[in-house]
Each structure stands twice: as C-alpha cells, then as structure tokens.
Structure 1
Amino acid sequence: MLTATYTLVALSVEQTNMRVSLHAVQQLVQKSYARQTALTVGQAEYVCDTLRGLYESCQRRKLDRFLLPALRRASANADSLVAELDGLSREAVESLATANELLRGGIDSEERVDAFCTAVERFCAALTLRFEREELELFPVARMAIAGETWFAMAHQMLAHDAYREEHRVHLVTPPASRPARGEPAHRQAPPVSYMH
C-alpha cells in the first residue's frame, strides 16, 4: 500500500495548492471588494478570470484524470459520493455564471457588489467542500477499493504525466533559435524574444 500512500499524498498536495488559491480570492473579496459601493470592470473581470482558471485547473487535476476512472472501474460503491462531488462542482459553475452575469450588467451599486461577493463566496465554498470530502471520504474508499497493481500503474501514469508537462513547459518558455526565417534576409530578422520567468 506504499504506492497508494504516495499517490494519495500527491493528490493531497494538489488539493492544498487549490485551497491556497481559493483562500487568496476569498481574502481579496472579503477584505477589499465587499466594502466597496461599486466595482470597476477590471476588478470584477480579474476575479471572474481567476475563478474560471481555478475551475479549469480543478477539472484537470490528477484526481479527475487518474483516480476517479480507476475507482469507477474498481467499484460502484463510490458512485453516489462521486455524484455528490459532481454536484458541488456544478454549484461552483452556477456561482461563476452568476458572477459573470453581474459583471456584464455592471457592478455599480452596493446591492450588486453584495450579490457578486456572495457568488464568489459560494464558488469558493463549493470547491473547498469538494476538496475536503475528497480527502475525508473519497480517498479512504479508493484506498480500500483499488487493487495494488492499479495503484502502481496510476503512480507511473502520474509521473509520466508530470514529466510530459515539465518538458512541454520548458519548450514553451525556451526562446526560438536566433536565425533568419527561410527566405528572409538576415538584416530583417526580428530581435530575440525576451522571456520573463
């Protein structure tokens, strides 16, 4: 069960990173936005874009990519729990839709600021609760239901996935070779791109 422990710890680290990001958005909204009588388009867009990014990151987690499919193949005992977790994700999506709708209409009154902050809070609460239930309820079920060789295969897949993402990230930030394009005179070549890390 050592491989299962390793895999669940890796998934737990992913959860922790998501929680930190959610908490940062909550703090911004509670300490700054909630006290305003109106929000600028930029302020509201920043929060909506951040929430959208968090939700998309949640959908791309290793838990969704590797653990849930393995659990579904191993046992149907967790189906109702998974359905409840999916319900929390839908609640987050609905809250994000509400925040975006308020953004489109303009957040130019205390009432609309309150509604926007409430939608953000509901989004964060739904995903936070999902993460807590995954760790407290889903992980123990998975540990019991999934066989040892499946844990080993899953750990291997996760490592390969991390390696691929790291390699892809390196290629994205590496500047292209400094040479003229085919058929382009050297003096017309664009200067090298400066990448900030």
Structure 2
Amino acid sequence: MLTSTYSLVAITAEQERSRGMLARLRQHFQNAWKGVVQADFGILENACQRLMQFDNFFRCRKIDTYLVPVMRMMGREAQSIVSELESLAARAAGMLDRIRQQLRSADTRAAPDAMRDLVSGYCDTVSLRLDREEHELLPLSRRLLSVEDWFSIAARMLADDGGRRGRAPRAIILPRGVSPAAQRALGTR
C-alpha cells in the first residue's frame, strides 16, 4: 500500500508541477504576443524556446514513463484511455512541429496570429491531456493495478530517481507474484 501511495503522490506532484509550468508558459506567451505587436521578435523566439523545454519535460513525466506502459497491458478499458492519451500527445506533437517550422521561417513575422493559434492549441491539448490523466487514467489505475504492480512502479521510480541524483541506480528486486504486465513494463522480463 505504501508503494502505491508513493507512486500516486509522485505522479500527482508532477501533474501539479506540469499545470503550474503550463500556466506560466501561457502567461509568457501572452507577454510575447504584446512584444510581437511591438516588433520584438526575440521575445517570441524566447517564448518558443520555453515551449520546447516544457515539451521535453512533459514527455518524460513519471506518468508516461512508468504508469502508461503498465496500463497499456491492463485490458480493453485501460487501452481505450491510453489510446486517447496517445492521440492527444500526437496532436500536441504535430502542433509543436508546425510551431518549429513557422519559427524557422519568416512566416511567423508576417502571421503572428497563426503562431498564436498553434501555441494556444498546443497548450489546450496538453491541458486536456492532464485532465484526462487525472480524472480517468489515475482512478482507473487505482482500481486495476495490484499491490505488486504498484510496488514495481515505485521501485522503478526510486531506482531512476537515485540515478538522476548522481548515484548508480540500484538493481530492482521484485517480490514474488509481480504481474507479467509490470515485469514487461519494467524490462525485467
């Protein structure tokens, strides 16, 4: 039970951090649009750089790294929400690619409204994905995953967190009875 609590607290904290970052990003872009009107294209480039940094963070969250791979194998009900989340991720990635293309071209200076629409669409899509994760995926995971599944997820999170702090990740020792889905998701099978 403690491992599921740890996992959910870590994921929830990261969700809140993502929401805060997204809100600050939206505010930064609102300020950048004012700069574009005043012909300061550098402000917009800076805002787009922040958008790319946010996207890199967002794609590496714990929910995507640890929970979604396990949920993908939990049957039709879980597969449905996972597919929807992947579709939202693909939509956001497509918008981000178009933002990059516009940023590299001179079109951004001529048509800032198109860029604003893309950025707004990206932020709305990410926000929708966060909502779906919080209101559908997490409650479903609480219901479908076993204690052993949560233990495996928490063990992997802790091992990877230790590696990020400059320590070598410890080997994950799985208890008996860990589900095959969790073993596959952890790469131990």
AA matched with 1:70: V
- Aligned residue in 2 for 1:82: 82
- Aligned residue in 2 for 1:157: 156
- Looking at structure 2, the residues matched to 131 and 60 of structure 1 have their Cα atoms a distance apart, in angstroms, of 14
- Looking at structure 2, the residues matched to 58 and 159 of structure 1 have their Cα atoms a distance apart, in angstroms, of 19
- Post-superposition Cα deviations, 1:35-88, rounded to whole Å, max 9, x if no partner, equal 642654532332222222222222211111111122223333211111111111
What is the correspondence of 1:1-197 to structure 2 with a 5 Å cutoff?
1-34=1-34, 36-37=36-37, 40-106=40-106, 107-109=108-110, 112-167=111-166
- Structure 2 residue runs without a partner (length 5+): 168-189
Instruction: Name the % identity.
Output: 34
Moved more, 34-43 or 156-165: 34-43
Contact 1:34 1:113 in 2 (8 A): no
- Post-superposition Cα deviations, 1:157-193, rounded to whole Å, max 9, x if no partner, equal 111111110116xxxxxxxxxxxxxxxxxxxxxxxxx
- Looking at structure 1, the residues matched to 55 and 146 of structure 2 have their Cα atoms a distance apart, in angstroms, of 30
Q: TM-score, normalised by structure 2?
A: 0.79
AA matched with 1:134: E
Moved more, 76-85 or 141-150: 76-85
AA matched with 2:14: E
- Residues 34 and 82 of structure 1, relative CA distance in 2, 3 Å threshold: farther
- Structure 1 residue runs without a partner (length 5+): 169-197
Q: Secondary structure at the match of 1:78?
A: helix
- Looking at structure 2, the residues matched to 2 and 26 of structure 1 have their Cα atoms a distance apart, in angstroms, of 36
Contact 1:34 1:114 in 2 (8 A): no
- Residues 100 and 39 of structure 1, relative CA distance in 2, 3 Å threshold: farther
Larger Rg: 1
Task: Tell me the CA shift for residue 105 of structure 1.
Answer: 2.3
Query: How many pairs align?
Result: 166
Contact 1:99 1:119 in 2 (8 A): yes
- Aligned residue in 1 for 2:183: none
- Aligned residue in 1 for 2:175: none
4+ residue runs over 4 A deviation: 38-41
Q: TM-score, normalised by structure 1?
A: 0.76
AA matched with 2:140: V
Root mean square deviation of aligned Cα: 2.0
- Looking at structure 1, the residues matched to 78 and 152 of structure 2 have their Cα atoms a distance apart, in angstroms, of 21
Contact 2:11 2:63 in 1 (8 A): yes
- Residues 96 and 54 of structure 1, relative CA distance in 2, 3 Å threshold: same
- Post-superposition Cα deviations, 1:97-131, rounded to whole Å, max 9, x if no partner, equal 2222222222334xx12211111111111111111
- Residues 116 and 8 of structure 1, relative CA distance in 2, 3 Å threshold: same
Task: Tell me the CA shift for residue 152 of structure 1.
Answer: 1.2
